[in-house]
């Protein structure tokens, strides 16, 4: 979706969106959740955060910190160049990964999760925003459509299986022991568009060439990973979205990394990991429970 189509969506109400099949009458189905996200992005790009239908007690955080919507990284965005949306009507959560153009023309990568309740109000806004120089424009401005591709039934896992796979991966961040059976030999991991695996030079983590499995092993400076959450799971597309707080106790000031990862799972194995990993200091909690 481009910035023009986002702008056109501003001001459209939530009336007329369909409830999820088998859910409470006011609940959103997948299409409804996607429309809520479209309208959120349109409002933010247009500089109209006041039009976002927040619940009175909504929790809004960016990079772990409570912020007002009008003070978020979205105020620096000139246009959305590429966006992928993942919706989960079971949990009422919808996620967007947006490759954006900032006011100075540079690229940024913003992940936004919304929790939508039955009356169309948004109770959670969880943003992971990378506006640093490490964001790769060629990746975030042309996000891989295969991430949202529907899988043939024989290549899908159940919701329970997908979440379990995500939990095993996050556990590996603490144990430094990869579950090789969960990782396809073609698996690649990207940090804000920077390719980490299967390249001669890893510009983010350093060291020798890595695979998705070997990058978890050895003696990395991180661990444990805490506060695992998986707000969006989409078996039809083989998607599981997880967040965790990754601790670096051996480094000065004991920083943490706010990890926001989308896993694409095909045939029971992870084939791609899209990560926004942001180093923080003093991030005692990620907040949220959804």
The residue ranges of every structural domain in the chain are 3-143, 148-280
What's the pLDDT score for residue 36? 96
How many angstroms separate the CA atoms of 156 and 150, rounded? 9
Burial of residue 269 (CB within 10 Å: 0-12, 13-18, 19+) is buried
How many angstroms separate the CA atoms of 166 and 37, rounded? 24
Produce one character per residue of 112-135: b if its CB has 16 or more CB atoms within 10 Å, e if not: bbbbbbeebbbbbbbbbbbbeeeb
Residue 211 contacts residue 187 (beta carbons within 8 Å): yes
How many angstroms separate the CA atoms of 128 and 109, rounded? 8
Q: Which two tokens mark 100?
A: 């954006």
How many angstroms separate the CA atoms of 151 and 155, rounded? 6
Of the candidates 16, 88, 73, the residue with the CA atom closest to the CA atom of residue 41: 73
| Strand, helix or coil for residue 117 | coil
Residue 28 contacts residue 53 (beta carbons within 8 Å): no
How many angstroms separate the CA atoms of 43 and 57, rounded? 20
Region of residue 264 (left: phi > 0; alpha: psi -120 to 50; beta: else):
beta
How many angstroms separate the CA atoms of 210 and 272, rounded? 14
What's the pLDDT score for residue 19? 44
Q: How does strand 122-130 pair with strand 107-116?
A: antiparallel
Residue ranges of the chain whose pLDDT lies below 70: 1-26, 200-208, 283-284, 290
- Give me the CATH topology for the region 3-143: Nuclear Transport Factor 2; Chain: A, (3.10.450)
Whether the domain at 3-143 and the domain at 148-280 fall into the same CATH topology: yes
Q: Could you tell me which CATH class the domain 148-280 is placed in?
A: alpha beta
List, for residues 45-96, the tens digit of each pLDDT value: 999 999 999 999 999 999 999 999 999 999 999 999 999 999 999 999 999 9
How many angstroms separate the CA atoms of 265 and 263, rounded? 6
């Amino acid at each position: 979706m481009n910035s023009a189509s986002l702008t056109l969506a501003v001001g459209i109400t939530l009336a007329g969106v369909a409830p999820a099949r088998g859910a409470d009458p006011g609940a959103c189905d997948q299409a409804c959740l996607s429309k809520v996200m479209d309208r959120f992005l349109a409002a933010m790009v247009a500089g109209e955060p006041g039009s976002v239908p927040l619940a009175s007690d909504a929790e809004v955080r960016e990079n772990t910190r409570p912020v007002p919507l009008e003070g978020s990284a979205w105020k620096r965005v000139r246009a959305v160049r590429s966006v992928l949306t993942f919706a989960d009507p079971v949990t009422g959560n919808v996620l967007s990964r947006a490759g954006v153009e900032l006011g100075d023309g540079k690229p940024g990568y913003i992940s936004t999760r919304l929790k939508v309740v039955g009356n169309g109000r948004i109770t959670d806004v969880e943003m992971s925003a990378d506006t640093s120089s490490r964001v790769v424009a060629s990746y975030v401005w042309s996000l891989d459509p295969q991430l949202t591709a529907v899988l043939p039934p024989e290549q899908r896992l159940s919701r329970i299986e997908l979440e379990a796979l995500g939990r095993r991966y996050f556990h590996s961040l603490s144990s430094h022991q990869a579950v090789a059976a969960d990782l396809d030999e073609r698996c690649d991991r990207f940090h804000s568009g920077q390719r980490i695996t299967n390249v001669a030079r890893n510009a983010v983590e350093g060291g020798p060439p890595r695979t998705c499995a070997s990058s978890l092993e050895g003696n990395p400076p991180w661990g444990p990973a805490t506060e695992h959450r998986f707000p969006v799971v989409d078996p039809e597309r083989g998607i599981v979205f997880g967040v965790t707080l990754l601790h670096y106790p051996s480094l000065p000031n004991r920083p943490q990394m706010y990890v926001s990862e989308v896993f694409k799972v095909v045939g029971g194995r992870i084939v791609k990991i899209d990560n926004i990993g942001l180093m923080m200091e003093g991030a005692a909690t990620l907040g949220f429970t959804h």
